[in-house]
């Protein structure tokens, strides 16, 4: 059984087959993935997600993709770097900047 049932317009509710489209042909509303929760729910738990790899693929069972990843196997868990001097200039005590430049292989996502 598939994880993804199709796509659905968030605005008008029109259903579409799974395909690389992002906007409704009827109302131009955004399309969202319709997941098969009967298939997914038995496979997920907080413990399984926490034990997964330190990347976005720990959420594999919740991602709308079929088949193994072909790119970005190490994407995710990018560090937050405290920007003390910039924070001081802006009057902020706790300013952090997300360093997406360490994502491999895209260096950004």
Q: What is the pLDDT of residues 47-73, one digit of tens each?
A: 999 999 888 889 988 988 877 777 777
Residue 62 and residue 92 share a domain = no
Cβ atoms of 100 and 78 within 8 Å: the answer is yes
Q: Report pLDDT for 45.
A: 95
Domains in the chain, number: 2
Regions of the chain with pLDDT less than 50: none
Residue 100 and residue 60 share a domain = no
Task: Name which of 50, 9, 2 is nearest 28 in CA terms.
Answer: 9
Residue 92 and residue 58 share a domain = no
Residue 82 is inside which H or E element, if any?
A: strand 80-82
What is the value of pTM for the model shown? 0.65
Residue 17 and residue 67 share a domain = yes
Q: Report pLDDT for 107.
A: 65
Q: Which domain holds residue 97?
A: 78-109
Residue 58 and residue 82 share a domain = no
Residue 91 and residue 72 share a domain = no
What secondary structure letter does DSSP report for 28? -
Q: Report pLDDT for 106.
A: 65
Q: Report pLDDT for 17.
A: 94
């Amino acid at each position: 059984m598939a994880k993804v049932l199709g796509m659905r317009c968030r605005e008008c509710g029109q259903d579409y087959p799974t395909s690389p489209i992002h906007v409704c042909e009827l109302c131009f509303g955004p399309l969202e993935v319709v997941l098969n929760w009967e298939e997914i729910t038995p496979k997920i738990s907080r413990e399984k997600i926490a034990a997964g790899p330190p990347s976005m693929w720990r959420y594999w069972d919740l991602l709308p993709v079929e088949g193994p990843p072909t790119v970005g196997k190490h994407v995710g868990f990018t560090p937050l770097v405290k920007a003390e001097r910039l924070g001081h200039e802006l009057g902020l005590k706790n300013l952090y900047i997300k360093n997406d430049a360490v994502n491999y292989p895209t260096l950004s996502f």
